[in-house]
Amino acid sequence: MKTDLKIAHLLCTRLCHDLAGPIGAISAGVELMGIGAEMIDDETISLLSGSAGAAFRKLKFLREAFGWSGGSSAKFDDLERTLIEYIYATSGLSGAPTLEWPMQEGLERVAERLGNSGPQIVSNLALLGLECMHSCETLSLTVTFAADALDVVVVNRTTTERTSKLREDTEAAISSPGGAPMTAQNVQAHLTRSLVMGTGGALAIRDDGGGAVLTAHWP
């Protein structure tokens, strides 16, 4: 199977997995409504509202990350809020991580260099940084630039030793993609690498002992 087609298939698999939970909860609530009004209580209404909101927030961000980026201009205006909403929609019992967002000047440099692809690439770098370890307490994004060179650095920090190791499938997808089987779990890493390389950049990831450091570099 051609690589692009396989990426598309696996991204669809991932999307279905991400949305199955909240949509299943909505379906269960609607079934209760069909049984009778006496089955509807505040808890059911709260479940429906929360699940619908979670599904919407997930879709809004994943559309930015996985959708077509061929618009007329590169816009970062709503991306920070969209990412924050996604983080809260996907956070587990450990709570949502803190997000440190780049300065506006840095985002402007990204837009100048990458054009319409800028928001999509930053979205995928953020998502990859969030998921490259099994937990995240702080997710920071910084942009550095000098002359024509541009770097977007994403750092995932956590103090939980058990979950502070870089995922092997993610590292392999970035460092040695030819030897890393593409799966629904690491397809987003393959996609991010392809997007960065497609705009003339290079992508690297490393475990620095206290977290993961993801660097996208454009010379």
Q: What is the 3-state secondary structure (H, E, C) of 84-98?
A: HHHHHHHCCCCCCCE
Indicate the CATH number of 3-218 among 1.10.10.10, 3.30.1490.190, 3.30.565.10, 3.50.30.30: 3.30.565.10
* Closest C-alpha to 3, from 214, 197, 136: 197
DSSP state of 29: H
Q: Which residue has the tokens 């987003």?
A: 188
Q: From the centroid of its chain, how far is CA 104? A: 20
Spans in the chain with pLDDT lower than 70: 1-3, 32-41, 43-44, 69-74, 92-94, 161-164, 179
Give 13: exposed, middle or buried? Use CB within 10 Å, 0-12, 13-18, 19+: middle
Q: What is the pLDDT of residue 69?
A: 65
Q: What is the pLDDT of residue 131?
A: 93
* Closest C-alpha to 157, from 79, 121, 211: 211
* Closest C-alpha to 152, from 198, 106, 94, 100: 106
Burial 64-79 (b: 16+ CB within 10 A, else e): bbbeebeeeebebeeb
Please give the structure tokens belonging to residue 66: 């996985």
Q: Which amino acid, 86?
A: Y
Q: What is the pLDDT of residue 65?
A: 93
- Alpha-carbon distance of 169 to 133, in angstroms, equals 10
For the whole model, what pTM was predicted?
0.88
Q: What is the pLDDT of residue 72?
A: 43
Residues counted in the chain: 219
Give yes or no for a contact between 55 and 40, defined as CB atoms under 8 angstroms apart. Answer: no
Q: What is the pLDDT of residue 35?
A: 66
* Closest C-alpha to 66, from 110, 114, 24, 128: 128
* Closest C-alpha to 150, from 85, 102, 91: 102
Please give the structure tokens belonging to residue 72: 């007329």
